Structure 1
Amino acid sequence: MSAAPLRIIGIDPGSQITGFGILDTDGRSSVHVHSGCIRLPTGDFPQRLGVIFRELDAIIATHQPAVMAIEQAFLARNAAVALKLGQARGAAICAAVNRGLDVSEYAPRLIKQAVVGSGSAVKEQVQHMVMIMLALTRRPAADEADALAAALCHAHIGSSLGRLPQGFQRRRRR
């Protein structure tokens, strides 16, 4: 990497497992720093949200990313699942904002398209491409791979936006 790298934490929020992945990027290449899954205990849902917040807060404090890339909510099987996913996202976003990170949200289809080339890619394809793109020696768990894919999506889109004229960037954000 030639320019000073940007450290990104990607998040795949979940009410049972929340994946996270940290990478450094210079806009041309990305390097894996750390990744894994936060496996939430059974029991009261508010306590599980607290675990997401505390675990991500500690990971952010340790690895010092500058930005969080997180999956946007998608249509869930039912309203209860959608609400729980939204609350898990909220806990993750609060951990980032609490530490002063910028937060960028990406649709799952856009993340898959940025990493695999198809917005309808299956989890195994995402895992495979993340493993290749980051030269990982082991296949990441599905939620971990989704989080790394979110970070890679931000690295690709952020580097593209950085090359656009300033006026175009402002118009696109509206």
Structure 2
Amino acid sequence: MTIILGLDPSLTCTGWGVIRSEGSRLTHIANGQIKTHAKAPMAERLALLHGGIASVIAEHRPDRAACEEVFVNENPKSTLKLAQARGCVLAACGGASLSVNEHAARLVKKAVVGTGGADKSQVGAMIKVLLPGAKVVGTDAADALAVAIADAHLGRQPGQS
């Protein structure tokens, strides 16, 4: 049995999802979103993200985490903000000595939906199928659960090569 924390970092709204993986069986444990206010100082927003993820880790004690790899979009300012948010989330994992697997967004979508070009509604629909009964709090949490599910299928256990 492995408890996996999936992460979908964003400065505006970071999604997180925790699942249990036992062989091919997946069970939903929890999910949520950490939202920051756009007008708040950057340092406060980043501290909120870090503290929020650190609290999730302390509460659910995952065995490992999984995060989408950073992608570069056309707006360099947006890319920088995403990188800062991602850094806070990864620092929270590192502070808890939690190993983190990273997966490309297209690979996550392919693992969960069957196509790398899936949109958010398709990902959300498959989360309902793969984790029946889970109450997903929003699209960012659904994306984080998708990362955790993909990691359950694709991820390596710590120490594996």
Task: Confirm or deny a common fold (TM above 0.5).
Answer: yes
- Which contiguous aligned blocks of 4+ residues in structure 1 show a shift greater than 2 angstroms? 136-140
Q: What is the match of residue 105 of structure 1?
A: 102
What do you get for the CA RMSD once the two structures are aligned?
Answer: 1.6
Residue deviations 1:116-143 (CA, integer Å, cap 9, x gap): 0000000000000011101035454110
Identity of aligned residues (%): 36
In structure 1, what is the Cα distance between the partners aligned to 2:55 and 2:20? 18
**Aligned 8 A contact 1:18 1:143 in 2:** yes
Query: What amino acid is the match of 2:125?
Result: H
Of 21, 24, 27, which residue of structure 2 is paired with 1:28?
24
Which residue of 2 is the match for residue 9 of structure 1?
5
Instruction: Give unmatched runs, 5+ long, in structure 1.
Output: none
Aligned partner of 1:155 among 143, 152, 156: 152
Summarize the alignment of residues 127-146 of structure 1 with structure 2, pairs less than 5 Å apart.
Answer: 127-138=124-135, 140-146=137-143
| 1:128–1:139 CA contact under 8 A, matched in 2 | no
TM-score, normalised with respect to structure 1:
0.86
How many aligned residue pairs are there? Answer: 159
Alpha-carbon deviation of 1:75? Answer: 2.1
Return the alpha-carbon distance in structure 2 between the equivalents of residues 21 and 76 of structure 1: 24
Q: Which has the larger radius of gyration?
A: 1
**TM-score, L = length of structure 2:** 0.93
SS of aligned partner of 2:46: helix
